[in-house]
Structure formats: C-alpha cells, structure tokens
Structure 1
Amino acid sequence: MSVQGVLAQATVRDLTRAEAWYETVFGAPPGARPMNGLLEWHFGAGFGVQVWAEPDRAGHSTVVLSETDLDGLSARLTRAGIEHPGPQPGGGQRVLQVFDPDGNRLVFTGA
C-alpha cells in the first residue's frame, strides 16, 4: 500500500452553519465543493478536511490537525468568538480543542 494523502471528515447537520464556522476556524473559505453536501479545505498536497452533511451521523467526529502556531491560533479563535479552553498539555505536546456547532471535536496539536 502507498497512501498519498488523507482527508479527515466531520459530519454535520446544517452545511451552511458549518461552513461559516469552519471558515472562521480555518481562516479561509472551502477550497472545493466536490458534490452536493460536501465541502473541502486543503492544507497541502494530499491532505485536508471534509465537512459532510449527514444529519443522522452528525456530531460524532474527531479531527486531529498539527498546527505550527498553537498560541497564534488560540488568540485568533478567541478574537473570532470561538470558545475554547486554550492550549493544554496532552500527548507529550500541547493540544487546543474546539467543538463545532454539532459537537464534532477539532484537536489542534503543536509544541
């Protein structure tokens, strides 16, 4: 097997509400809309995050992303009104957890 990339996925109820929230968190609009009900943010060649509208499964996803500036992200999210506890110790580094409107968890990791 030769994996070339990965798209983590968060499943949501309301795609319009989710799009606004994820755009705020990621600091940019989605880079692709490959089909109805699906948004994608690409962070590099072969990796990114999908947000998929599937109400029956919404709110049970966890997405883990490595972030080079955890403190800067924390400050930006605070300014944007995204609630979070700030960076915390975890797994030998620091983590910043945020929850989307459906309860999906985004975990940003960094030094």
Structure 2
Amino acid sequence: MAVDLFAGVPVEDYTAALSWYERLFGAPPAFLPNDTEAVWELGEHRYVYIEQRPGRAGNALHTLFVDDLDARVAGITARGLRPVDRETYANGVRKVTYEDRDGNQIGFGGGPENG
C-alpha cells in the first residue's frame, strides 16, 4: 500500500509562522495553495503544511526522523532557531524538539550520537 503524508500545523499569524518554518526546514515552501497556507515537501509524498487557523493554533505535535540528526540540528541552529528540548531514550534514539510561537512542536529524531 502506498502511503502519502500531509501533516498540518495550525498557526495564529501566518506571516510570522511562514518565516519561522522556512528557517526550521531550511527552504521556502514547495507551494502555496492559498493566501493562508504553505506546504513543504520533506520527502517524496511527505508534506508538512502550516495553515492560519487561529482557533486551533498551538496543538500540533509532529516528529520527523532524519538520517543525520546532528547535521539537521546544526543547520537549524545556523538559521537562528534553538530547541526547547533534547531527549535520549533508553534505546539510544535521540529527539530534538522545536516550538513555534503558537506552541506547536516539531521534533527531529535520529539514532545514537556518532552512529
């Protein structure tokens, strides 16, 4: 079965969120469906989008697993964002979490450090 992902992030202020997510993902959106929505393609058929939805803003919790967590975090840091949390689980999996101004959390996960 083929699976596509289209994960949404409701935001209060679209313009401010657009800038923040461009820094988080390191690129402008892949496309803009309308004036209050922006979409990033993170992998083939795997999208994250922000949408201005003031009444729902701040409730997203997404974790993206990446091949090189350290490189990803270094790139995000170079673009001026800092994580709100870093975790290492008993099995060695690590997670670094970022939080936008609305409280939406986007985490990046990866394997053990240096491996």
Give TM-score, length-normalised by structure 1. Answer: 0.88
Q: What amino acid does structure 1 have at the position aligned with 2:102?
A: D
In structure 2, distance between residues paired with 1:56 and 1:33: 21
- Partner secondary structure for residue 60 of structure 1: coil
Match in the other structure for 2:11:
12
Aligned-residue Cα RMSD (Å) equals 1.7
Q: Which runs of 5+ in 1 are unaligned?
A: none
With 29-38 and 84-93 compared, the bigger mean Cα shift is at 84-93
Match in the other structure for 1:61:
60
Match in the other structure for 2:101:
101
Are positions 1:25 and 2:20 aligned together? Answer: no
Say if 1:91 and 1:59 are closer, same or farther in 2 by CA, change over 3 A: farther
Q: What amino acid does structure 1 have at the position aligned with 2:99?
A: F
Q: Which runs of 5+ in 2 are unaligned?
A: none
Aligned residues: 110
- Partner secondary structure for residue 40 of structure 2: strand
Following TM superposition, by how much is the alpha carbon of 1:86 offset from its aligned partner in structure 2, in angstroms?
A: 6.5
Match in the other structure for 2:39:
40
Q: What amino acid does structure 2 have at the position aligned with 1:41?
A: W
In structure 2, distance between residues paired with 1:24 and 1:41: 12
TM alignment of 1:65-104, pairs within 5 A: 65-84=64-83, 87-90=86-89, 92=91, 93-104=93-104
In structure 2, distance between residues paired with 1:48 and 1:25: 14
In structure 1, distance between residues paired with 2:74 and 2:68: 10
- Partner secondary structure for residue 33 of structure 1: strand
Say if 1:53 and 1:91 are closer, same or farther in 2 by CA, change over 3 A: farther
Following TM superposition, by how much is the alpha carbon of 1:30 offset from its aligned partner in structure 2, in angstroms?
A: 0.3
User: What fraction of aligned residue pairs are identical, expressed as a percent?
Assistant: 32
Following TM superposition, by how much is the alpha carbon of 1:34 offset from its aligned partner in structure 2, in angstroms?
A: 1.4
